[in-house]
Amino acid sequence: MGTPEDLIVQASQRRRTFAIISHPDAGKTTLTEKFLLYSGQISQAGAVKARSGGRAAVSDWMAMEQQRGISITSTVLQFSYRDHVINLLDTPGHRDFSEDTYRVLSAVDAAVMVLDVAKGIEPQTLKLFEVCRTREVPIITFLNKLDRPGLDPLEVLDQIESKIGVRPTPITWPVGIPGDFRGVIDRRSGNFIRFSRTAHGAQEALEEEIDPTAASHQEGENWKQAVDGVSLLDEVGATYDKKSFLAGQSSPVFVGSALTNFGVRHLLDAIVDLAPAPSDRHDLDGNLRPIESEFSGFVFKIQANMDPSHRDHLAFVRVCSGKFQRGMGVTHAESGRILSTKYATSVFGSDRDTVEEAFPGDVVGLVNSNELRIGDTLYVGDRVEFPPIPTFVPELFALARARDTGRFKQFRKGIEQLEKEGVVQVLFDPSGDPTPMVAAIGEMQFDVFSHRMHFEFGAEVELTRTSHKVARRTDQATASELGGLGGVRVRVRRDGTLLALFESPYWLARLQNDHPTWKLDDLIA
């Protein structure tokens, strides 16, 4: 049986916790659904096995998402595959709504980067990869949509290396050009894997493994071109290397089409075979918290009203060490208080089940733990506090007022709740003006803020945009120097963080150049 510590290590080795990152429309939502198909969570594409035996939407639970057909918030999907527990943290895909994605990436051990072979590297891809590189998150790449016309895959590999700075190392390689995709060469075996379509991609694609001699006879010129491509990859040393992959220096590449299910199984197998299991995690002081030590975890997301009928509040906790058991008392590192975990749930999109236990890599939802904030640490036994989750400085700013002054109480409650969830950042004038300023990275955050204030809190808001273009975190000494300058204002968050807001990025650059000792940071700890 082994010791309790041995059981924790064994359980963690069976976990894979990852996120899918992509530019909008690259196929992330489709790929997520197909993972559920291949893991047996859904019987056909388009429906999830609900507890009642009916069907439910997979992950985009918010009404606004369903109306617009995009992913705005992130959700957690846990499922089993090949005797492993897969924790998929589904991230927003809209180009304007990215801060929630940044936070989610702090809770994963790997990421799958989905690229549309017709478009290659796009701005959002670059932005998200920078976050992965900062956090040293290993990345597996999936070249998607080969069933449609697109770029030469070699050209996409060049973009990955030149724009992102990571060396792509294909493990599967396409036979046939984009738009006439026949299957793949598996570079590990040299064999041809031929795919056959199923109606509307609703079932797993049929796969036939064919040896190179037969493949050459059957596929002719398509096979020759694919073999030439593989030979070129061999010549330049674009071969999978575990050490460089885990260090974030290279990325194993798989090719396929999520829509037709071509290559989906290869990618899901790679998550099990290549992605790292949870490991010891550094605390705030740089010390490692072993995974077999007592329970610890941190809050990476807070969401309210996932179930509007209950008006609840859910804190998502990534388990970092030990065994979580429902009902155990955990210490809140920031306050020192003991919190109850009686109402602990697992989350599958919008569906929930009571969770009795969880291990490193798993995500637990704590219901109505209202004092928790993003980045907070929970632990049992020896004290530990994990580093805070950095937030990015906002780029859009607006003064927020209640349209109906008679609803000011609801307005204030909504502002506080949505700030706590990280939907927007809320800034105040330290000189005394009580009008709150909401700040965001992308335009969609303002849309979500206004939508939820109206429909969840009954407080319509009026947003008046300001002329500020960029912000930097600062300190009191620098704020005092900035106070008399034009084109800049200092605002403060509820946690005391000072932000300097500039009307011109050129004015910011000049001040940074003229005053290199001033504190003007682009990350907020």
User: Is 376 labeled as ligand-binding?
Assistant: no
User: Is 282 labeled as ligand-binding?
Assistant: no
* Percent of the chain whose pLDDT exceeds 90: 67
CA distance 127 to 167: 18
User: Is 92 labeled as ligand-binding?
Assistant: yes
Q: Which residue has the higher pLDDT, 52 or 326?
A: 326
10 inside domain? no
User: Is 22 labeled as ligand-binding?
Assistant: yes
CATH code where residue 159 lies: 3.40.50.300
Question: First vs last Cα of the chain: how many Å apart?
Answer: 43
Question: Do both 102 and 242 map to the same domain?
Answer: yes
267 inside domain? yes
Question: Do both 349 and 321 map to the same domain?
Answer: yes
pLDDT number for residue 190:
95
Neighbours of 416 (CB within 10 A): 13
**CA dihedral of 310, 312, 318, 324, whole degrees rounded to 10:** -70
User: Is 178 labeled as ligand-binding?
Assistant: no
216 inside domain? yes
Residue that finishes a domain, picked among 253, 273, 293: 273
Question: Do both 445 and 501 map to the same domain?
Answer: yes
For residue 240, pLDDT over 90 is answered with: yes
User: Is 273 labeled as ligand-binding?
Assistant: no
For residue 95, pLDDT over 80 is answered with: no
384 inside domain? no
Please, which residues have CB within 8 angstroms of residue 382's CB and are 6 or more apart in sequence?
293, 294
Beta-bridge partner residues of 21 = 113
Arithmetic mean of pLDDT, 393-418 = 94
**pLDDT tens string 469-486:** 999 999 999 999 998 899
Residue ranges of E strands in 306-380: 313-321, 324-325, 330-332, 338-339, 344-348, 351-354, 357-358, 363-367, 377-379
Q: If we measure between CA atoms, which residue out of 249, 267, 233, 272 comes closest to residue 132? A: 249
Residue 201, both tokens: 């991609």
Arithmetic mean of pLDDT, 182-203 = 92
> Of the given ranges (98-102, 137-141, 271-275, 283-287), which has the lowest mean pLDDT?
98-102
Question: Do both 269 and 285 map to the same domain?
Answer: no
Q: If we measure between CA atoms, which residue out of 65, 69, 78, 74 comes closest to residue 21? A: 74
For the full predicted model, state whether its pTM sits above 0.75.
yes
Question: Do both 236 and 189 map to the same domain?
Answer: yes
User: Is 90 labeled as ligand-binding?
Assistant: yes
Structural domain harbouring 353: 281-379
Q: Residue count of the chain, please give it.
A: 525
User: Is 168 labeled as ligand-binding?
Assistant: no
User: Is 310 labeled as ligand-binding?
Assistant: no
CA distance 414 to 305: 12
User: Is 24 labeled as ligand-binding?
Assistant: yes
4 inside domain? no
For residue 37, pLDDT over 80 is answered with: yes
Question: Do both 24 and 122 map to the same domain?
Answer: yes
CA distance 419 to 398: 14
Question: Do both 495 and 359 map to the same domain?
Answer: no
For residue 443, pLDDT over 90 is answered with: no
What is the average pLDDT value for the chain, to the nearest integer? 88
User: Is 91 labeled as ligand-binding?
Assistant: yes
For residue 494, pLDDT over 60 is answered with: yes
pLDDT bin (cut points 50, 70, 90) of residue 309 is: low
Residue that finishes a domain, picked among 257, 273, 289: 273
